[in-house]
Amino acid sequence: MTIAFQEFKAIALLIAITIGGIIQCTSAQAAPLKTTVVAGGCFWCVESDFESVEGVDSAVSGFAGGTTVNPTYKQVTRGGTGHYEAVQITYDPDVISYAQILDKFFRSVDPTDAGGQFCDRGDSYRTAVFVTNATERKIAEAAIAAAGKELGQKIVTPILDAAPFYPAEKYHQDYYKKTDLVLTRFGPKSKAEAYKRYRKACGRDARVQQLWGGAAAFATH
């Protein structure tokens, strides 16, 4: 019994060491999560779209590109802050690449519109891509060139140097899936229902599908 027990302990220890080695090796090889910021009009929509993408860990609605520190939603939409409505996307580069993120981004917006996006007009609703280094800039330039070639139109989305990103108020985060009620012109609705009605009325999906056809990334989202 004593010998059998010792053999059992030895085998258990060997298994534990092997599993530990596998876990350590896997952790060492896994790439750290990365973040990128894009502006695509209404940040509720961009957040909703990208949180459905495999490899995206999170998407946070906020503001970037302006001069006002910690701006509020009202300040940004009123104008004068220089900020875009933007979304910070955190993703796993082992699952989805930066180039693939941008490919989906351009095919989810109207990058030919310099005055805003869909029914939302004004500087804060314009499109933009924020880059952190020369490599990202080259990838963004290639994405713009590909989009322009595919559409046969000029792409007006600028590539901007990374700027401080300020998360929007809690009210706006995950708006598309919240169940608390808000007052709309259709009466009290959950935020999720209000979001669906807004998105349809704004014509976002219809325009993206018209522009990109079968390549539209989230037109039926």
Residues forming the active site: 42
Q: Helix, strand or coil for residue 196?
A: helix
* CA–CA dist 193, 217 (Å, integer): 22
For the record, the structure tokens of 33 come out as 């999560």
| DSSP 8-state assignment for residue 155 | -
215 alpha carbon, distance to own chain's centre = 18
* CA–CA dist 143, 83 (Å, integer): 23
* CA–CA dist 164, 150 (Å, integer): 32
Are the C-beta atoms of residues 148 and 106 closer than 8 Å to each other? no
Write down the residue that tokens 């180039």 correspond to: 99
Task: Look up residue 78 and give its amino acid.
Answer: R
Task: Look up residue 143 and give its amino acid.
Answer: A
